[in-house]
Chains A and B, each alone.
Chain A
């Protein structure tokens, strides 16, 4: 089985907008995906959560699009859409029936060119409330909800741009002003800070003409401030531990490690290791902790790739009732460290490769995933063709490479252990609770 090659064109408009077009006509659908090279890492102290709040403002209209009309027009055209914010980037995407491509391009261009015309205090206040409710839903009111924010804070020092969570803090969200929004937009939402990828049922010449028409006249920002040096030592230096009391019935450990940066082949070896460790019922952690020793209710292990400083390798295990949490922690860590001591078996590696191949093929079936990956590889690594080499890179990972990266990463002095324990009494009111905004 071979993966179909994704053929694409890659060019820049005069204003710096990078345009990638991948044509295929299997289904009458087309995906538009625009990545801006700005994320929570670009936020400054006192303004955390801003990149994400801004993403919400991007759906509040622009000069020729009324509030909520962006959603309405896309849905009335039979399309789907959303936007997401992460440490390294913010992205916006629409998947459309192919005859509606021009609408999606126009909508993206209108907000890149004229967002501030529609910005007002009412919309900002409204989306601030929505985002605060998103924070309550996704973190504050959810058992174990703070784990990822806590891991980030342990793995990166306070002055590092990856230290704070993308969702931000309630205080900082409250402090965001219209001037902040305008300045953020003028600084980062410029064509030379964006990659536009179009994939699917598209005539490339026509798409290029539309992109030139709608985006060509938008001015570049020649003064996008560079980020400071994000380098951190490859290893944390000392183990970091925290016990969290929460409204949870079962204890759970979260593990975090600094890992090689996104794009480093060692991170790909680590991702294969993640498959062998926790990818389904045949994996090592599941087999030992859940099935054989029956000390864990569930296990997981995965990598979150970042381009600045270090990535995060993270895992979790929920402790079964009546089991000593320390026993679960030791078994979990033993399995991680064993990967660094002895090579994986040929059969384990063959199974992991076969599964990874299927996952990749499955993902690349969809136009939205193709557009997203082209934009991702272009934005983060300046190498959109990785979409065609990624699978081979996974498949060529050797037992020695897995062992080497496991030995580098899974060290006690590179480890964060976060242990959630059932709170002894009714939980104290969350520090973030406040009166109605």
Chain B
């Protein structure tokens, strides 16, 4: 083959691939950092699960909501059985947010409501801050602007980084059986209703460990306290309370303090619940979501 012909062929191939890439981009945006299932018809709602969790976090609520809304149930790659994919390297939350922004724009979602649980709630706050045009309203389920204040009210990113890095490395290196035992024990503090505990523990046990560990680190070291004052999006915060946490006033104070700077935040306490409010109090959770979407 002459050099000239080879060049022509290369140019033609490049042009063809270029067309294909452009066409593919225009027709369907395929995210590399998460998967999404779309259900129902109506106004758009994006639902983001928490650390190591499946989109099935919202399965019961989705059953009800998809009669009146179009749901975009996302799941971060590497969590709850999904392979790590593009999350095998690098950061987890930031690339997820940028791709979610691209997804919302590419699929022409019409000012979706965004619902996020735990780390997904933190991601929701970050999305509303970085891409306010993507979020008409935000529901944050049991997530603080800075997770680490749960352990120490005076925590700063600087102060927790060393410990968070040590925990990340320890969790990443843990043998499967030890990690499973830790999750099966720890889930009792996250889910009040015993029948739901094996499911939630199973999600984290089946998660790609390296992705889980790095996402946990980011969850612990991301501080949105200084930024929530700039979030103009209306925010509904649901927080869990159970008598075993101590006096309700203390818990109320923690949450109201945490969101005091947010200009449009409404807080609702859900009683008789641990962290997985949608599993522990599905009726109260459903009622709160209905109010939020009204």
B is bound to A: no
Residues of B whose CB lies within 8 Å of any CB of A are none
